[in-house]
Structure 1
Amino acid sequence: MVRGISKTLIVGITIVIAIAIIAIYYTIQSNIAGQGIKNTGIEYPVTVTDYLGRNITIYSQPTTLGIIAPDCAQIIYTLGFGNRVVLIDVYSEQLLHYLNVTVPGNITTISSIYESIPIETIITAHPSLLCVDAGFQPQLEQDTNELSAADITLIFIGGTANTNITGIENDVMLMAKALGVPKRGEEIINNMSGVINYVRSKVLSGPRVTVAYISWYNPIYAAGNSSFVGYYIAIAGGYDPFSGMYPTVSSSQLLTANPDYIIADNFMGNYTATLQAILSIPGINSTNAAMENHIYILGNFAESLIEEPGPLSVYGALLLAMILHPSAFGLNSTAIPHYISAQWVNQYVRPNLNITLNNG
């Protein structure tokens, strides 16, 4: 009788322990999900090769992330890891604001991301993984050892060094693999292709117009047809007549090209001043763009979508196509404002972090 009771007691205790273990497991999983820690099913360590050809081994899924370029922000947020960001630059923060994404106030923000990048600030913020744009931040390669000693892993994406959408796709998959979510990376790429195919289908039967895309007027800085911007102009049914990547062109070269459209950054800080600067270029009034009132100034959000080579840049191609071929999208030419504001972009282009079309 005593032995029977002992066996029953042992079985009961075993069951209680098993239930407790299961409960603890699911509680932990629930807490992990609440903190945004993704149970990916990918086994670490993972080794990836970044844009600079560096083989990087990541031993566990990064729990904190650093962003010092807007294209990195686009990739990290579209992959769904925005809640792990502990370091961000002001330009990325501005872009996220336009997308109605709130950046918590306790995140470290840096304002210098081009020449004087504050290494000590990065170390203090201590992201376990830092995304870097190799196009305009190659100098950070010399700081790799110092950052590695602080247990910060650097991954260089192609970023602004990219000249077409394939480069962006490579960047997306690089970060997706590093973060353990390759399937999500593939979804983003498929969605990007969907937007690009939509744009191409809309402008396929339209005329190809000549586009001068400029970022300064004296001297004239143009995008060039070998640049990333020139690539998207071509997808949007246009052609950049200037050879190379970001060439400086003379006023006589601009007049010879006789662009049908001039699209410019808001380089003077306000629409009126920028337009007057463009109109001050000698002979500009004789171009088709000036005579047909086809000069368009981009606000910050529009500029970001077109010029920052991340997943959201496909909306830049859509925006360009709407400017160049409004009727293909059911718009009257007068519906395209000469200053492309963030409000207009959100109303008509409708960019979103899921990289989907919303044309209803």
Structure 2
Amino acid sequence: MNRTILLAAVVAIIVVIGVVAVLVYRNETVVQKSTGSTYYPVTVRDASGRNVTLYTSPSRIVSLAPSDTQVLVSLGLGKELVGVDYYSYLLLKYLNATSDLPQNVTVFSPSISPNISGIVALRPSVVVDELGLIGDYSTQLSEAGLTTFYTNADYAGNYTAIEKSITTLGKLFDRNTQAVELVNWMNTRIHSYESQGDTGVAYLLWVNPDHTFYTAGSNTFINTILNLSGGVNVFSNTTGYPVLSPESLIVGNPQIIIAQELTNLSYTLYMINTMPGIANVSAYTNHRVYVMSQNLPTFLLDEPGPLSVYAIQMINLAIKGDAPSYISSAWVESELNVTLPVF
């Protein structure tokens, strides 16, 4: 009798434990569903026209272009970047902002082709890169089993294209609110820095040994910066990045020349001073030639990302005559207080 009662009691206890376990399991499941991320999976179309799906929140990101890295850091994803290209790291170093990245972040050496084996070794959730820069290597990245997402900010012709890239990355990484904040931050500074004017500006990207030079045409981002800064691109009758002759500079007769530093400052000035017919150019005779150092100033103007808003202010100061003839990183940092926001 006692054994029967004892057995019944044991069975009852087991049943109770089982019921409690089921209830606890069900409760935990509900909690997980209610507190866990419901954002993923998400599918976003990238610049190549592909629909890219991320099934979980990406915790290991590789970025291979400074314009993209700027955006990702600003969206609060810096600590998720396990690998970046050399120029992205260099830009953050100029800004004293490498602390936004993990201490053990992998920095890939400058190369025309991506270090695919090195990227694979990092086991990234997704690789972000510029469509115009990756070229034929996109197939190799896919064949290596990597999830890739391509933007096209490096070939943006205006700020609208940059904003589109920001909002697209915001959608991919569940940073929609931060993307809106970043776009608003940019627009506030654009409106603050922009200026109306008609000062003729010639921008020299590079001067070749024969004194032909690369410049920026009307459909480029640099042209947009010049216009917002109160200048008029004297080579706006061209498109892309054409190579022009010294005679073109004489015909354009700019009031201001802004040149990127070549090997060093002295060599840059030598190439400009010895350009055939330069004495007939207004900017030269009036001592309105400005050389931008190879580092931070050039990054601000050449990389179509959030930091490019400071290029508007930088060029505007040159147009107004308030910038030194050699626009160095030190001057830019002290005068413009360049900072990359993180939202």
Give CA-to-partner distance per residue, 1:100-140, whole Å, 9 cap, x none.
11255522111234x22221111112221111011222323
Q: Corresponding residue for 1:251? A: 246
Unaligned stretches of 5+ residues in structure 2: 1-15
Amino acid corresponding to residue 52 of structure 2 in structure 1 = I
Give the match's secondary structure for 2:205.
Answer: strand
Question: In the TM superposition, what is the alpha-carbon distance from 1:276 to its structure 2 partner?
Answer: 1.2
Q: Corresponding residue for 1:211? A: 201
Q: Corresponding residue for 1:89? A: 85
Question: In the TM superposition, what is the alpha-carbon distance from 1:225 to its structure 2 partner?
Answer: 2.1
Give the match's secondary structure for 1:244.
Answer: coil
Q: Corresponding residue for 1:283? A: 277
TM-score where L is the length of structure 1: 0.80
Q: For the residues of structure 2 that align with 1:311 and 1:42, how far apart are their CA atoms?
A: 29
Identity %: 31
Q: For the residues of structure 2 that align with 1:95 and 1:208, how far apart are their CA atoms?
A: 32
Q: For the residues of structure 2 that align with 1:225 and 1:279, how far apart are their CA atoms?
A: 26
Q: Corresponding residue for 1:345? A: 332
Question: Structure 1 residues 312 and 40, CA, compared in 2 at 3 Å: closer, same or farther?
Answer: farther
Q: Corresponding residue for 2:54? A: 58
Equivalent positions of 1:152-191 (< 5 A) are 152-191=146-185
Give the match's secondary structure for 1:282.
Answer: coil
Give the match's secondary structure for 1:323.
Answer: helix
TM-score where L is the length of structure 2: 0.84
Amino acid corresponding to residue 220 of structure 1 in structure 2 = F
CA contact (8 A) 2:80 2:102 kept: no
CA contact (8 A) 1:229 1:307 kept: yes
Give the match's secondary structure for 2:161.
Answer: helix
Q: For the residues of structure 2 that align with 1:210 and 1:111, how far apart are their CA atoms?
A: 39
Equivalent positions of 1:261-280 (< 5 A) are 261-268=256-263, 270-280=264-274
Q: For the residues of structure 1 that align with 2:57 and 2:158, how far apart are their CA atoms?
A: 29
Question: In the TM superposition, what is the alpha-carbon distance from 1:239 to its structure 2 partner?
Answer: 1.3
Q: For the residues of structure 2 that align with 1:138 and 1:313, how far apart are their CA atoms?
A: 24
Matched, 1:306 2:296: no
Question: In the TM superposition, what is the alpha-carbon distance from 1:296 to its structure 2 partner?
Answer: 1.1
Q: For the residues of structure 2 that align with 1:281 and 1:347, how far apart are their CA atoms?
A: 33
Question: In the TM superposition, what is the alpha-carbon distance from 1:41 to its structure 2 partner?
Answer: 5.8
Q: Corresponding residue for 1:330? A: none
**Greater mean deviation of Cα atoms: 104-113 or 120-129:** 104-113
Q: For the residues of structure 2 that align with 1:165 and 1:227, how far apart are their CA atoms?
A: 11
Give the match's secondary structure for 2:107.
Answer: strand
May I ask how many residue pairs the two structures share in their alignment? Answer: 312
Question: In the TM superposition, what is the alpha-carbon distance from 1:241 to its structure 2 partner?
Answer: 1.8
Amino acid corresponding to residue 86 of structure 2 in structure 1 = V
2:226 to 233, 239, 242: 233
Give CA-to-partner distance per residue, 1:207-248, whole Å, 9 cap, x none.
311111112112210012221101111111111122111111
Give the match's secondary structure for 2:186.
Answer: helix
Q: For the residues of structure 2 that align with 1:153 and 1:320, how far apart are their CA atoms?
A: 39
CA contact (8 A) 1:260 1:294 kept: yes
Q: Between Structure 1 and Structure 2, whose CA radius of gyration is higher?
A: 2
Matched, 1:320 2:307: no
Give CA-to-partner distance per residue, 1:249-285, whole Å, 9 cap, x none.
11101110011111111122x2121111121211112
Question: In the TM superposition, what is the alpha-carbon distance from 1:46 to its structure 2 partner?
Answer: 0.7
Unaligned stretches of 5+ residues in structure 1: 1-9, 26-38, 326-332
Give CA-to-partner distance per residue, 1:70-122, whole Å, 9 cap, x none.
10111111111111111111111110011111255522111234x22221111
Q: For the residues of structure 1 that align with 2:342 and 2:40, how far apart are their CA atoms?
A: 28
Q: Corresponding residue for 2:13? A: none
Q: Corresponding residue for 2:108? A: 110
CA contact (8 A) 2:230 2:316 kept: yes
Q: Corresponding residue for 1:67? A: 63
Q: Corresponding residue for 1:48? A: 44
Q: For the residues of structure 1 that align with 2:313 and 2:131, how far apart are their CA atoms?
A: 26
Q: For the residues of structure 2 that align with 1:350 and 1:136, how far apart are their CA atoms?
A: 30
Q: For the residues of structure 2 that align with 1:210 and 1:351, how far apart are their CA atoms?
A: 26
